[in-house]
Amino acid sequence: MTYRVCFVCTGNICRSPMAESVFRARIAEAGLDGLVEVSSAGTGGWHEGDGADPRTVAVLEANGYESGHTARQFQASWFSHLDLVIALDSGHLKALRRLAPAPADTEKVRLLRSYDPAADADPDVPDPYYGQMDGFEECLEMVEAASPGLLAAVRQQLEGRAA
């Protein structure tokens, strides 16, 4: 049975597609690509159908990640087939938990930086959209820093299913 992870930011053109791309690469490196499905979405639908922000694409490609992406809006009905919903900031966390149809679905929502043991007191990956390129690079650093912890958590869930 496939384990499904969805990353969620505001418009699904900056942070969440970046996290999706990085985590998909980590899953492939771990040999889990047949067991884990990775996707992303936004809390809003302003950019539905658009590609990722060109700055996101540039940062991903400069660091060896794939960048193909089409933005979409997160739907409450998705909770039924998702195992983990990763919010990129506290606002997304609250919005997603409000959308959750059941308490069990609320438990599926986690902050990305909660998987980074070295993360500072601010749990959010800041939105780089209105800034310069360095904001996108910082976003990538935060996503990469949280990915090993997230991968370990997903691996643990997969092992629990196999037991």
User: 45-100, pLDDT tens digit by residue?
Assistant: 999 999 999 999 999 999 999 999 999 999 999 999 999 999 999 999 999 999 99
Is 96 in contact with 82 (CB distance < 8 Å)?
no
The crossing angle, in degrees rounded to 10, of helices 15-29 and 54-62 is 30
With CA atoms as reference, report the closest residue to 10 among 80, 66, 90, 82: 90
pLDDT for 84 equals 98
- 161 band by pLDDT with thresholds 50, 70 and 90: confident
pLDDT for 162 equals 75
- 163 band by pLDDT with thresholds 50, 70 and 90: low
With CA atoms as reference, report the closest residue to 109 among 149, 139, 82: 82
The residue ranges of every structural domain in the chain are 3-162
The catalytic site residues sit at: 9, 15, 127
pLDDT for 1 equals 85
pLDDT tens by residue, 98-152: 999 999 999 999 999 999 999 988 999 999 999 999 999 999 999 999 999 999 9
With CA atoms as reference, report the closest residue to 128 among 8, 18, 7: 18
Amino acid, res. 150: L
According to CATH, the topology of domain 3-162 is Rossmann fold (3.40.50)
**For residue 92, what are its two tokens?**
């997304």
